[in-house]
Chain A
Amino acid sequence: GAGVSQTPSNKVTEKGKYVELRCDPISGHTALYWYRQSLGQGPEFLIYFQGTGAADDSGLPNDRFFAVRPEGSVSTLKIQRTERGDSAVYLCASSPGTIDTQYFGPGTRLTVL
């Protein structure tokens, strides 16, 4: 079956601009996670959705970051007033339950110039 998909695969933007990153999870997976991975590091948790609600957003670095999942499927990570330090690969993962295996999408590489 289809895996987790993320769009765009690459995004180059200028400092101060707004960006949206999209994640389409595996069909039927209720849990959705966003992570951020910088070069040479492991992925870092950002936010977790169970259904439509954000159950844990403790990993969001500041209020410029926001994510939604309005219908319990597709999720969008939104970053306002981007900074060069936001440059990283943003990974989305989905899971059929809470402690089950998470399946990762291919990621979106964000570059802020």
Chain B
Amino acid sequence: QKEVEQNSGPLSVPEGAIASLNCTYSDRGSQSFFWYRQYSGKSPELIMSIYSNGDKEDGRFTAQLNKASQYVSLLIRDSQPSDSATYLCAVGTSYGKLTFGQGTILTVHP
């Protein structure tokens, strides 16, 4: 079993729809959770960070964390073509080492 698993893609949604990205992790001691966006040929850039159970909203993005289920998700509302990218789920240890999922490719079509 992989340490961090993301829902298999690619994921395609129409412009204006909600995109839902999911991630599960195996280490119950994980303390920090991140969603990064990566455009082709570029480095990862932070979208959201979440540290405690529940929802965290930032603009069109909502991150959800459920430590009991070892599950973290990202919802993108009103998806735009510019949201088309690879989304990486990353889980952090107590000292910050990140373990990444394999990424989910999202395509938002007009």
User: Which residues in A have some Cβ–Cβ distance to B below 8 Å?
Assistant: 31, 33, 35, 40-45, 48, 50, 55-56, 59, 91, 93, 95, 97-107
Contacts and interface: CB of A to CB of B under 8 A. Distances in A.
Contacts, number: 65
Given A41-B102, A42-B103, A106 B42 contact: yes
Interface in B31-57: 31-32, 34, 36, 42-46, 49, 51
A44 B100 contact: yes
Contacts of A98: 94-96
Given A41-B103, A42-B101, A104 B96 contact: no
Task: Find the residue from A31, A44, A59, A98 having the highest chain B CB count within 10 A.
Answer: A98
Nearest to A47: B97
Nearest to A100: B96
30 contacts: A31-B96, A33-B96, A33-B98, A35-B98, A40-B103, A42-B4, A42-B90, A42-B100, A42-B102, A42-B103, A43-B44, A43-B88, A43-B98, A44-B100, A45-B98, A45-B99, A48-B95, A50-B95, A55-B95, A56-B97, A91-B43, A98-B94, A98-B95, A99-B32, A99-B92, A99-B94, A102-B98, A103-B46, A104-B45, A105-B43
